[in-house]
Amino acid sequence: MIIVLKSGVTEEQIRHVVQRIEQLGLRAHVSRGTYRTVIGVIGDEAKAMAEPLRAIPGVAEVMPVLPPYKLASIEAHPEPSIVRVGSVRIGGGHLALIAGPCAVENAPRMFAIAERVRRAGANLLRGGAYKPRTSPYAFQGLGEEGLKILAEAGQRVGMPTVTEVTDPRNVELVARYADMLQVGARNMQNFVLLTEVGRSGKPVLLKRGPSATVTDLLMSAEYILSQGNSQVVLCERGVRGFDPLTRNLFDLAAVALVKRLSHLPIIVDPSHATGRPDIIPDCALAGVAVGADGVHVEVHDCPEEAKSDGQQALLPDQFDQLAEQIRRVAAVFGKKVSELPGEIPCDVDSSLETGKCI
């Protein structure tokens, strides 16, 4: 850590700053320049950062040398981490291809969509049982019944499942049914929830908040990691922008930046980022090209009947094409989509037709 002192600081104030540093069990190195005096702090930086050193008279600025997200930083873990969700690996050259409807609506529809995305090559099945919505009058999800349907759909087609948990009190319940817990954008800084999903021991998909910086995202991941849970996957799903032509601003620079700051895998969610099915494929491919460890896409057989976010869902046939394109682009960069073992059970219904409503 470096402490920059104010111009005109007195010798007495310098001695006081040094004394405070030494009281913390750290060492201080004073360097006097022509215009400013700086003090280098040697020792456990985290201990010093926990103190209000900026409040000491004469101190102008406190600058950490190491990132505040110690466990998530690339310094702590130089090699890319690989997160395992069932048999699926994410990171280290292995791509996640997550697909499914925004919300679990009913069993027949969930089973049919699961079969289609599985045949296209998706390796994780998504579907929301608890839906945090902007309006309190919008569909909020089926709750535990939705969890049961999603779990059965995953078992039928042999896919691990991921679903959102919105309440610390529901972590144990959701973890009972799902293979991976998702913390949505609105809850990215719900620190009680982050602590609970960390304690669950389940793999966690952590989405970036709409107004969160990259550092904010990594600090939220730190909460989960600090509970001894190293199975964390980050997700770029767009931040708040000014152009109304897309739902959010798809921040691909954040993906490239995370790959240089952290060892954690990061995937992209062009569905929530753009809200536009016509450009979701392009943005998904761009995400893979910039280094993402996977893609999260919403798929629905009849978007006009969807209870949540139907306007941004791809049709199954569109997802088929995108999945093949993702595999080709991934191969260019020496990566591959993690394949699920075995075949789809022969008793699974494959009658879903694109655009036909059940």
- Per residue in 152-174, pLDDT (tens digit) is 999 999 999 999 999 999 999 99
- The pLDDT assigned to 35 comes to 83
Q: What angle do CA 188, 200, 184 make, to 5 degrees?
A: 20
- The pLDDT assigned to 333 comes to 95
Q: What are phi and psi of 129, to 5 degrees?
A: -100, -30
Q: How many helices (H) and strands (E) does the chain have?
A: 11, 15
The structure tokens 């919300």 sit at 103
What's the DSSP call for residue 56?
S
- The pLDDT assigned to 60 comes to 92
User: Would you say residue 328 has pLDDT above 60?
Assistant: yes
Whole-angstrom distance, CA of residue 223 vs CA of residue 236:
18
User: Would you say residue 258 has pLDDT above 80?
Assistant: yes
| Alpha helices, H only, the chain | 11-23, 45-49, 107-120, 144-157, 171-177, 191-200, 214-225, 252-261, 270-274, 280-290, 316-332
- The pLDDT assigned to 34 comes to 79
Q: CATH class for domain 2-63?
A: alpha beta
Q: Which of 116-120, 248-252, 350-354 has the lowest mean pLDDT?
A: 350-354
The structure tokens 């007195």 sit at 10
**Of 341, 340, 236, 344, which is closest to residue 295 (Cα–Cα)?**
236
What's the DSSP call for residue 13?
H
- Across the chain, mean pLDDT equals 92
What's the DSSP call for residue 247?
S
Whole-angstrom distance, CA of residue 217 vs CA of residue 238:
12
Residue percentage of the chain with pLDDT more than 90: 76
Whole-angstrom distance, CA of residue 281 vs CA of residue 271:
9
Whole-angstrom distance, CA of residue 22 vs CA of residue 16:
10
**End-to-end Cα spacing for the chain:** 61
Between 151 and 31, residue with greater pLDDT:
151
Read off the pLDDT band of 357 (50, 70, 90): low
pLDDT tens readout for residues 54-96: 999 999 999 888 888 989 999 889 999 999 999 999 999 999 9
| One CATH from 3.40.640.10, 3.40.50.1370, 3.20.20.80, 3.20.20.70 for 83-337 | 3.20.20.70
The set of residues, in sequence order, having a beta carbon less than 8 Å from that of 333 and lying 6+ positions away, is: 288, 289, 291
Residues of the chain with CATH 3.20.20.70: 83-337
pLDDT tens readout for residues 168-201: 999 999 999 999 999 999 999 999 999 999 999 9
Read off the pLDDT band of 358 (50, 70, 90): very low
**Of 199, 198, 152, which is closest to residue 178 (Cα–Cα)?**
152
- The pLDDT assigned to 346 comes to 56
Read off the pLDDT band of 355 (50, 70, 90): very low
Whole-angstrom distance, CA of residue 333 vs CA of residue 19:
53
**Of 158, 117, 126, which is closest to residue 320 (Cα–Cα)?**
117
Report CA-CA distances (Å) from 193 to 53, 87, 328, 354. Answer: 30, 26, 37, 38
Residues of the chain with CATH 3.30.70.1140: 2-63
pTM of the model: 0.87
Dihedral angle over CA of 209, 210, 214, 220, nearest 10? -10
User: Would you say residue 345 has pLDDT above 70?
Assistant: no
